[in-house]
Chain A
Amino acid sequence: MNRFLLPLSIFVVVVGFLGIGLTLNPREIPSPLVGKAVPDFSQPQLYDREKVLSPADLKGKVWLLNFWASWCNGCKTEHPVLMELAKSGEVPIYGMDYKDQQDEAMAWLRRWGNPYPIVGVDEAGRVGINFGVYGVPETYVIDKQGVIRYKQIGPLDPDTVAKKIIPLVKQLESQ
């Protein structure tokens, strides 16, 4: 090959990568926890501080864990989608109220509706750190054995729910 073509070939490769780069989101960080056991926690429940929410109690079923907060804008965008999904009864969504005030969180759920059978409280953000949460909302799909199967970063939208979450849940249910 002509050595004078070398710069051009390198450039073509770089442009190819830059082109692919345009379709990617550099802020979305894949979780190393997918495929691993769900980190254990035992957090007080929002509506009953005496009781706890813990993955151990949810073994044997497929469930979603949704990190949210009343101060988070993306959560409001996502909320109708969660309400819809909860209504469909496809899969239970457990909530984790992340770094929030109890009264504000309750007021928020009163106002926009409550899709969660149980909401845990993570006041200090520790559970969030164990889940590798770096921005709310984030949603995890957890299978019957307590293994994380999928992580949604940012708000769920109807399309993702229909094309990713529901088929995945169905498949995990049948296992």
Chain B
Amino acid sequence: MIPEIGHFALILALCVALVQGSLPIYGAAVGNSALMSVAKPAARTQFLLVLTAFGCLAYAFADKDFSVLYVAATSNSQLPLHYRLAAIWGAHEGSLLLWTFILTIWMFAVTLFSAHLPEATRSRILGVMGLVSVGFLLFMLSVSNPFERLIPAAPDGRDLNPLLQDPGMVIHPPMLYMGYVGFSVAFAFAIAALLGGNLDAAWARWSRPWTTVAWCFLTIGIAMGSGWAYYELGWGGWWFWDPVENASFMPWLAGTALVHSLAVTDKRGGFKVWTVLLAIMAFSLSLLGTFLVRSGVLTSVHAFATDPKRGLFILVFLAIVIGGSLALYAWRAPKVGLGGSFAMLSREGMLLANNVLLVAAMGSVLLGTLYPLFLDALDLGKISVGPPYFDSVFVPLMVPAIFLMGIGPLAQWKKASVPDLAKRLKWAFGVSLVSALTLPIVLGSWTPLLSLGLLLAIWIVTTSAVGLRERLAHVNGNSLVERLASVPRSYWGMLVAHCGIAVFIVGVTMVKGFESEKDVRMNVGETASIGDYTFRFDGAQDVVGPNYTAARGAFHVSRDGRETTVLYPEKRRYPVQNQVMTEAAIDPGLLRDLYVSLGEPLDDGAWSVRLYHKPFIDWIWGGCFIMALGGALAISDRRYRLAWRKQEPAVPVPTRAARRKVA
């Protein structure tokens, strides 16, 4: 009964979405306020309906209802409850429901925080989101119904893929989807503005916080996926340039460009046309990712079980949504004005140059990801495009982008001067250069890439310091603390996010430069050393988990004779799917990770063991979290907090200035 309620809720949600996607948009076009006012309640109703459906599926999982095909296919009675719940998005159908659910969450959020928007704009935004929702609901109801019954019911389920039975599974997909789907808000804002023909600076100001929030989620989602791959796959890598990873990285690159471009549009009214295009691109790439993961056109570690019928559905949906938006863009964009003027060498100019680099990087990832498909479609042979390709084209594109990242925030709006910038940045450059050249030597090995990486990271930090110092000289306040507090949060946000990139670069550089690994055959009592640490193997024991059996090895790790930790890597066997999983044991640390993974049992109690010493690897994900923190700081800026409460889109200047003084 419960699954039928869920199914029925989805059908109702589709009806509501159809209403939401048509009446308000039409109402906005003809200026009919009654029709427009449908948008808000429709969006909220849709949210409740999809929430109901989601709850019903969750109930079916919790209740081990194996008469539901999807539940039987992705869970098992032995599977612990939290993984049964995470199994909701463990395969195609349920993850689509999650997608739709998150889309309605964003819609609901728009209804809450849009009091200050003109009614027509709000109606169009919700209308566009409703139309996107129609596509996903139709998709589920036609070819991917998570509530499909299995009659007679299966005695037990086929279990969740053991690779997915991990805390990462509980949190990574929702985060990632919050990011992907979050770009639908910026997209809807852009389409609404194109439809209404009122593409002005206010539009950019409204879009900014939404885009930043989505970007934060996506950043965290990608970082968590990467961290998960690192400890779960058991061979110590953290990024593989796999098509599915690329599918999440492309919207991130476009989204990052969008965040920066919105700043130009917001501040200077310029490049609206470009910003709109980026907003369309970021969401289109999210949809493209969905297609790539689910259609089976590319081979990937992470792909869902594929079905050409589904692939065709998404492709048609993609063609309608993206094709329609780009057609609208081609029609409306030429009529948009130019905005304020600025010189090539100015903050705006550099932000846009950075945009060019980010978009070129995004284009390269897209090219590399789809190129094998292009060649195959033209019958020109099969090739693989992998990490060596992406590394060699990505680095040269990112180096100038990061160099600009140091200068941009220090350049004046409108027009900057080279001698002035050079004067202000000379010590930052000197310090970066000298320390980048000498640090690797101090650390014991010099390579050009190591120096380059450190140069970029130190460059970001030192230029940020210069920027902050100058900023502090210009704000009011007597003590340093007072002055620090009066620097706007949005500025802090930018600094923190940029420093997050620096931390990330340090992580990548140090791991690439100094990681070491060892494949050894270890008997009980034998030791192996790696990077100052000595590992002693104390044998393996059989242990029994809730739904697996495992051999668990014990490794005493010591450094200079002092015990550091004991690590327990496992080799698990999940009987339901008869799959063997390597569960690595990691001792994380600020400066290094120690990583042990069990290979195969050899004769007389010995095991083949892989040991890794990974310096600074946690900085990779730490950097991403710092970036996201920067985003969070930026949206907590006072002007957004004020904007939510105001009916008028823009705060009159005098009041604003006055409030600032009072504060």
Do A and B have CB atoms closer than 8 angstroms in the complex? yes
B334 within 8 A of A: yes
In the bound assembly, the distance between CA atoms of A7 and B254 in angstroms comes to 14
**Extra 18 A-B pairs, beta carbons < 8 Å, given A4-B273, A4-B334, A18-B295:** A2-B330, A2-B334, A4-B329, A5-B330, A8-B326, A8-B327, A15-B315, A17-B373, A18-B291, A18-B318, A19-B315, A21-B377, A22-B297, A22-B311, A26-B296, A26-B372, A27-B299, A30-B382
Asked if residues B373 and A18 are in contact (CB atoms below 8 Å), the reply is yes
Q: Which B residues touch A19, using CB under 8 A? A: 315
Q: Could you name 29 residue pairs across A and B whose Cβ atoms are closer than 8 Å?
A: A4-B329, A5-B330, A7-B281, A7-B326, A8-B323, A8-B326, A8-B327, A8-B329, A11-B284, A11-B322, A15-B318, A15-B323, A17-B370, A17-B373, A17-B374, A17-B377, A18-B370, A20-B377, A21-B295, A21-B297, A21-B376, A22-B296, A22-B308, A24-B373, A24-B377, A26-B297, A26-B372, A28-B382, A30-B382
With both beta carbons as reference points, the residue of chain A lying nearest to B336 in the complex is identified as A4
Asked if residues B373 and A21 are in contact (CB atoms below 8 Å), the reply is yes
Known contacts A7-B330, A11-B322, A15-B323; A29 and B315 CB within 8 A of each other: no
Point out which of B318, B323, B326 has the most chain A C-beta atoms below 10 A from its C-beta: B326
Q: Which A residues touch B150, using CB under 8 A? A: none
B448 within 8 A of A: no
Known contacts A11-B326, A26-B372, A30-B382; A18 and B298 CB within 8 A of each other: no
B494 within 8 A of A: no
Interface string of A9-48 (1 = CB under 8 A from B): 0011011011111111011111000000000000000000
Q: Which A residues touch B273, using CB under 8 A? A: 4
Point out which of A8, A19, A23 has the most chain B C-beta atoms below 10 A from its C-beta: A8
With both beta carbons as reference points, the residue of chain A lying nearest to B384 in the complex is identified as A29
A112 CB to nearest chain B CB (Å) = 24
Q: Which B residues touch A27, using CB under 8 A? A: 299
B333 within 8 A of A: yes
Interface SS majority for chain A = helix
In the bound assembly, the distance between CA atoms of A168 and B305 in angstroms comes to 35
Q: Which of B311-341 contact A (CB under 8 A)?
A: 311-312, 315, 318-319, 322-323, 326-327, 329-331, 333-334
With both beta carbons as reference points, the residue of chain A lying nearest to B318 in the complex is identified as A15
Q: Which B residues touch A5, using CB under 8 A? A: 330
In the bound assembly, the distance between CA atoms of A12 and B284 in angstroms comes to 13
- Sort A-B residue pairs by CB-CB distance and give the 7 closest, nearest first: A21-B297, A8-B326, A20-B377, A4-B330, A5-B330, A26-B299, A4-B333
Point out which of A20, A22, A24, A30 has the most chain B C-beta atoms below 10 A from its C-beta: A22
Interface string of A101-135 (1 = CB under 8 A from B): 00000000000000000000000000000000000
Q: Which A residues touch B319, using CB under 8 A? A: 15
B381 within 8 A of A: yes
In the bound assembly, the distance between CA atoms of A18 and B372 in angstroms comes to 11
In the bound assembly, the distance between CA atoms of A4 and B273 in angstroms comes to 9
Q: Which A residues touch B370, using CB under 8 A? A: 14, 17-18
In the bound assembly, the distance between CA atoms of A13 and B372 in angstroms comes to 15
With both beta carbons as reference points, the residue of chain B lying nearest to A30 in the complex is identified as B382
Point out which of B312, B322, B372 has the most chain A C-beta atoms below 10 A from its C-beta: B322
Point out which of A5, A7, A18 has the most chain B C-beta atoms below 10 A from its C-beta: A18
B363 CB to nearest chain A CB (Å) = 10
Asked if residues A26 and B298 are in contact (CB atoms below 8 Å), the reply is yes
Interface string of B245-287 (1 = CB under 8 A from A): 0000000000000000000000000000100010011001000
A151 CB to nearest chain B CB (Å) = 13
Q: Which A residues touch B284, using CB under 8 A? A: 11
Q: Which of B378-403 contact A (CB under 8 A)?
A: 381-382
In the bound assembly, the distance between CA atoms of A7 and B327 in angstroms comes to 9
A91 CB to nearest chain B CB (Å) = 27
A31 CB to nearest chain B CB (Å) = 10
Q: Which B residues touch A12, using CB under 8 A? A: 323
Known contacts A7-B326, A26-B296, A29-B382; A18 and B315 CB within 8 A of each other: yes
Q: Which A residues touch B334, using CB under 8 A? A: 2, 4
In the bound assembly, the distance between CA atoms of A30 and B277 in angstroms comes to 39
In the bound assembly, the distance between CA atoms of A29 and B383 in angstroms comes to 9
Q: Which B residues touch A29, using CB under 8 A? A: 382
Asked if residues B329 and A22 are in contact (CB atoms below 8 Å), the reply is no
Asked if residues B315 and A7 are in contact (CB atoms below 8 Å), the reply is no
A106 CB to nearest chain B CB (Å) = 27
Asked if residues A7 and B377 are in contact (CB atoms below 8 Å), the reply is no
In the bound assembly, the distance between CA atoms of A15 and B315 in angstroms comes to 7
In the bound assembly, the distance between CA atoms of A8 and B312 in angstroms comes to 20
A164 CB to nearest chain B CB (Å) = 17
Asked if residues B312 and A22 are in contact (CB atoms below 8 Å), the reply is yes
B362 CB to nearest chain A CB (Å) = 13
In the bound assembly, the distance between CA atoms of A28 and B372 in angstroms comes to 12
With both beta carbons as reference points, the residue of chain B lying nearest to A23 in the complex is identified as B308
B257 CB to nearest chain A CB (Å) = 14
In the bound assembly, the distance between CA atoms of A26 and B297 in angstroms comes to 6
In the bound assembly, the distance between CA atoms of A110 and B280 in angstroms comes to 63
In the bound assembly, the distance between CA atoms of A18 and B453 in angstroms comes to 37
Asked if residues B298 and A22 are in contact (CB atoms below 8 Å), the reply is no
In the bound assembly, the distance between CA atoms of A19 and B291 in angstroms comes to 11
Q: Which A residues touch B373, using CB under 8 A? A: 17-18, 21, 24, 26
Q: Which A residues touch B331, using CB under 8 A? A: 4
A168 CB to nearest chain B CB (Å) = 19
Q: Which B residues touch A15, using CB under 8 A? A: 315, 318-319, 323
With both beta carbons as reference points, the residue of chain B lying nearest to A5 in the complex is identified as B330
In the bound assembly, the distance between CA atoms of A19 and B334 in angstroms comes to 30
A23 CB to nearest chain B CB (Å) = 8
Q: Which A residues touch B311, using CB under 8 A? A: 22
Q: Which B residues touch A7, using CB under 8 A? A: 277, 280-281, 326, 329-330
In the bound assembly, the distance between CA atoms of A15 and B327 in angstroms comes to 14
Q: Which A residues touch B298, using CB under 8 A? A: 21, 26
With both beta carbons as reference points, the residue of chain A lying nearest to B366 in the complex is identified as A14
Interface string of B551-593 (1 = CB under 8 A from A): 0000000000000000000000000000000000000000000
Interface string of B494-523 (1 = CB under 8 A from A): 000000000000000000000000000000
In the bound assembly, the distance between CA atoms of A17 and B295 in angstroms comes to 13
In the bound assembly, the distance between CA atoms of A15 and B311 in angstroms comes to 12
